[in-house]
């Protein structure tokens, strides 16, 4: 039976249906060799030369990711989400203009404000969910890249990907989308017009908080994508085979994890919206969310696993609430099977767009009643 007729969920669950030809194992082996035998004519008929630019286990994992994102040009795995994201900017030329989301992953924003400018890039930050502001910021002929994060971390604003792609393309620019907090289960930006989609695969793609990884997927195998490939090859940014193996293991359960996590996130968002100690819930699945209509159009299978709450009582109450959780874990990161909570403003520091009364919640796969009960008692303790 051909795998061409299989649903992406089935393909991911069976890692593209590949069976090891030698042992008939249903789990692909880990290929860890760093070097390969040359042919008698000094060539490499196997297609492998050295471990820095290429590896079979990495290729196999990339094939699953490219399938999930419908990436015609394929996927590239990196040693971290930051390595993947910065490779896109490093593929640009000095003097190129970039427009990026004002609300985005804080470490990448910090890198853009410091290191990217040393590379000669010119960066403007705008609210990419505001299409008028985005169009005004883009400079035809000068802007080479629009970088949009949607849903944006940690305010969960929603950028209209199709509209942003049109604005970018009319100006001669590429659109890259950080879709870490959506996952291909919910959004496939390339099908909406984006040129590149990036994930911190450390998060929900792996889902077990035991791998640091990043991935880029592309719609077209063009000159710019080949520049990105050159950056990874030259800088040695490829993910290791062990991490690739673990990531592929995580991808096998991505759909079932995301279904549970998204359903619980929606349940919590609705219930917390009515909590007397919560001033506001930020979640695109709520009808009152400013980006709800766009999210409903470009997301499917739910609205993702991330939400934030702004508590009454301000910063002190928020920090105290986080200090009293039991089931939730006070830790950085997101997307794992365990639920996490974090006071983002104190983590991001000066210049953060994050309100000081905000707590970011990553929803795991625990029982939703336990999750709500834990937050309820922590909120009461935080205001006591």
Beta bridge partners, 308, equal 282, 360
Q: Assign 3-class secondary structure to 100-147.
A: EECCCCHHHHHHHHHHHHHCCCEEEEECCCCHHHHHHHCCCCCEEEEE
Alpha-carbon gap, residue 255 to 253, rounded angstroms:
6
Q: Strands 358-362 and 340-342, how do they pair? A: antiparallel
The tokens for 123 are 């960066």
Contacts 24+ apart (CB under 8 A), 22-30: 28/57, 28/60, 28/245, 28/248, 29/57, 30/57, 30/241, 30/242, 30/245
**Gyration radius from the chain CA atoms:** 21
Catalytic residues: 52, 105, 178, 203
Q: Does residue 255 have a cis bond before it (omega within 30 degrees)?
A: no
Residue 193 Rama label (left phi>0; alpha psi -120 to 50; beta):
left
């Amino acid at each position: 039976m051909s795998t061409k007729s299989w649903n992406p969920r089935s393909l991911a669950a069976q890692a593209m249906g590949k069976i090891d030809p030698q042992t008939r194992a249903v789990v692909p082996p880990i290929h860890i060799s760093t070097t390969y035998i040359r042919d008698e004519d000094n060539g490499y008929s196997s297609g492998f030369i050295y471990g820095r630019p290429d590896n079979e286990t990495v290729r196999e994992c990339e094939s699953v990711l490219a399938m999930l994102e419908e990436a015609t040009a394929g996927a590239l795995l990196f040693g971290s989400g930051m390595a993947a994201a910065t490779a896109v900017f490093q593929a640009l030329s000095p003097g190129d203009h970039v427009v990026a989301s004002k609300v985005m992953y804080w470490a990448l924003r910090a890198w853009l404000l410091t290191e990217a400018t040393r590379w000669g890039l010119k960066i403007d930050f705008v609210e990419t969910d505001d299409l008028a502001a985005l169009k005004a910021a883009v400079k035809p002929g000068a802007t080479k890249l629009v970088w949009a994060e949607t849903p944006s971390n940690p305010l969960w604003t929603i950028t209209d990907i199709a509209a942003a792609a049109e604005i970018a393309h009319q100006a001669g620019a590429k659109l890259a989308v950080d879709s870490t907090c959506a996952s291909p289960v919910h959004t496939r930006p390339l099908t909406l017009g984006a040129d590149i989609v990036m994930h911190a695969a450390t998060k929900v793609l792996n889902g077990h908080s035991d791998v640091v990884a990043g991935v880029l997927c592309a719609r077209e195998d063009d000159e710019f994508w080949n520049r990105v490939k050159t950056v990874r090859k030259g800088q040695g940014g490829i993910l290791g085979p062990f991490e690739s193996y673990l990531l592929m293991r995580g991808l096998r359960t991505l759909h079932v994890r995301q279904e549970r996590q998204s359903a619980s996130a929606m349940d919590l968002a609705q219930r917390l919206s009515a909590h007397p100690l919560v001033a506001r819930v930020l979640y695109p699945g709520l009808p009152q969310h400013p980006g709800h209509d766009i999210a409903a159009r470009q997301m499917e299978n739910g609205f993702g696993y991330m939400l934030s709450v702004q508590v009454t009582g301000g910063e002190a109450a928020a920090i105290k609430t986080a200090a009293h959780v039991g089931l939730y874990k006070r830790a950085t990161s997101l997307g794992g099977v365990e639920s996490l909570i974090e006071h983002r403003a104190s983590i991001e520091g000066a210049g953060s767009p994050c309100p000081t009364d905000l707590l970011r919640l990553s929803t795991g796969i625990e029982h939703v009643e336990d999750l709500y009960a834990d937050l309820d008692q922590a909120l009461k303790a935080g205001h006591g």
